[in-house]
């Protein structure tokens, strides 16, 4: 063969034929779907990957050794729907040469995931952040974001979220069910995300429809700034039957408040004080948030939902409201920095797994008002030595029956 370079067209299925073709002459272009479903290492000469070129479960044979995908150093274009993974692939390395990345360029099956992207710092067109999310160099286009634990918070400055750009992790016990969009957002692809809830803080973005323009709903609940409900209904073309899913919120210091209930949080963490006047914190609001260290909840709160502070691994201090009646299932599970907890005087019930795996919890005060502590409430609290309460109370009986020291106040 005298050609200086070649392109691969059509779909190559036989690995031996593929190997022979690649050895004969340098490959510069991989046309649409040409290597779909194959198992091969891309040659270093490839500059162009067409639409679906590496789809249908393609994987790099070399990655089995390193668990990292190294795209060729010569690569310039990654087409639409280009790569579709069906197995864990670790980090995906984007070389300095890449100039264009298409819509939905990287796809994954439901049970497949990646650790994200690392872009060569010399690349002039794209970058990654500390989460290994992928962006255009100016940060205005989000190409890929993934959360393994906790909610997805898209940073300010992002103006466009493309197709399949936002992923929650199906392999995580506390996968994200909330996505927070910045006030800078101007455009949103119809297929950008599939979270249960979406929170917007700015003007309603323009919606970029799929090619087939299927007007499916891609949210479970849509939370929008107060006074902008109709604007979002119009832009998102919300069906009449789904209007009830669009809810207006008040936003205070990172707290999203709907009808006096805290339904989400995207603040900076640290020492947080919940707003006065709220009555309830809904399920899982702070779950997986590793930035929170101290929490003060006002006495107006009468209900804290299930798993509300689950896996807040840096939470070391919690002040509970005086009117709280029940600690729900998993409310403080895996809060490993908690050492001492004082429960309020009107509390009556501590549910199962309330403090599960709080393995540094040493002391807890349980008031006389508590008449029920469910099984496994303190499962995995290996350092819990002392329960404090009133002599003759249910707390004392519970302590004796479960081999804890009891101290009468």
What pLDDT score was predicted for residue 91? 87
**Quick one: which of 82, 398, 25 has its CA closest to 92?**
82
Which one, of 260, 229, 234, 256, lies nearest residue 245 by Cα?
229
What CATH superfamily is the domain 253-409?
Ribonuclease Inhibitor (3.80.10.10)
Question: Rounded to whole angstroms, how far apart are CA atoms 158 and 272?
Answer: 26
Give the distance from CA 371 to its chain's centroid.
37
d(CA 114, CA 223): 29
Would you mind telling me the total number of residues written for the chain in this entry?
A: 409
CA angle 303, 309, 315 (to 5 degrees): 125
Per residue in 151-198, pLDDT tens?
Answer: 788 999 999 999 989 886 544 444 457 889 999 999 999 888 876 688
pLDDT band per the 50, 70, 90 thresholds, residue 148 = low
Residue 292 has pLDDT above 60, yes or no: yes
Tokens at 154, concatenated: 């898209």
What is the rounded distance in angstroms from the CA atom of residue 74 to the CA atom of residue 47?
A: 5
- What are 166's two structure tokens? 């936002």
Query: What would the pLDDT profile of 78-95 be if each residue is shown by its tens digit?
Result: 999 998 877 667 789 999
For the cut 70, the answer to whether the pLDDT of residue 211 exceeds it is no
Token pair in block for residue 112:
């497949």
Question: Averaged over 307-336, what is the pLDDT?
Answer: 96
| pLDDT the model gives residue 12 | 46
| Coil, strand or helix at 397 | helix
Mean pLDDT of all residues belonging to the chain: 86
- Beta 77-78 vs 48-49: how paired, if at all? parallel
Task: Map tokens 């403080």 to a residue.
Answer: 332
Cα angle 39, 43, 45 (rounded to 5 degrees) comes to: 150
Give pLDDT tens digits for 346-392.
999 999 999 999 999 999 999 999 999 999 999 999 999 899 999 99
What is residue 229's three-state secondary structure?
helix
pLDDT of residue 149: 62
What confidence score (pLDDT) does residue 17 get?
42
- Count of other CB atoms within 10 angstroms of residue 296: 13
Distance of CA 293 to the CA centre of its chain: 20
Q: Which residue(s) pair with 180 in the sheet? A: 153, 199
Averaged over 268-277, what is the pLDDT? Answer: 95
Is residue 1 very low, low, confident or very high in pLDDT (cuts 50, 70, 90)?
Answer: very low
């Amino acid at each position: 063969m005298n050609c200086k370079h070649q392109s691969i067209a059509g779909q190559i299925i036989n690995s031996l034929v593929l190997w022979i073709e690649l050895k004969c002459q340098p490959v510069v272009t991989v046309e649409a779907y040409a290597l779909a479903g194959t198992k091969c290492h891309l040659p270093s000469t490839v500059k162009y990957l067409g639409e679906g070129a590496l789809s249908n479960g393609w994987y790099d044979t070399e990655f089995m050794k390193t668990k990292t995908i190294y795209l060729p150093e010569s690569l310039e274009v990654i087409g639409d729907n280009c790569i579709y993974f069906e197995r864990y692939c670790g980090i995906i390395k984007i070389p300095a040469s890449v100039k264009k990345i298409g819509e939905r360029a990287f796809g994954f099956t439901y049970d497949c995931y990646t650790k994200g992207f690392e872009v060569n710092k010399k690349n002039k067109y794209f970058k990654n952040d500390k989460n290994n999310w992928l962006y255009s160099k100016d940060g205005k286009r989000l190409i890929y974001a993934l959360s393994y634990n906790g909610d997805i918070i898209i940073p300010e400055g992002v103006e466009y979220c493309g197709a399949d750009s936002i992923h929650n992790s199906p392999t995580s016990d506390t996968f994200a069910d909330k996505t927070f969009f910045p006030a800078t957002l101007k455009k949103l692809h119809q297929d950008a995300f599939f979270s249960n809830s979406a929170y917007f803080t700015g003007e309603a973005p323009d919606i970029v429809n799929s090619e087939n323009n299927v007007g499916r709903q891609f949210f479970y609940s849509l939370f929008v700034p107060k006074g902008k409900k109709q604007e979002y209904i119009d832009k998102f073309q919300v069906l009449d039957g789904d209007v009830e899913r669009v809810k207006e919120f008040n936003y205070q210091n990172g707290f999203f408040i709907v009808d006096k209930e805290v339904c989400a949080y995207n603040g900076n963490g640290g020492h947080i004080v919940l707003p006065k006047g709220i009555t309830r914190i809904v399920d899982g609001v702070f779950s997986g948030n590793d930035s929170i260290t101290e929490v003060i909840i006002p006495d107006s709160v009468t209900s804290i939902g299930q798993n509300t502070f689950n896996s807040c691994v840096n939470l070391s201090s919690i002040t509970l409201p005086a009117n709280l009646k029940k600690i729900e299932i998993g409310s403080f599970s895996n809060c490993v920095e908690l050492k001492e907890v004082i429960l309020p005087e009107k509390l009556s019930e501590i549910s199962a797994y309330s403090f599960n795996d709080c393995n540094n919890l040493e002391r807890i005060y349980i008031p006389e008002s508590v008449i029920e502590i469910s099984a496994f409430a303190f499962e995995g609290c290996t350092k819990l030595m002392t329960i404090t309460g009133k002599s003759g109370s249910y707390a004392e009986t519970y302590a004796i029956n479960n081999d804890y020291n009891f101290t009468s106040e």
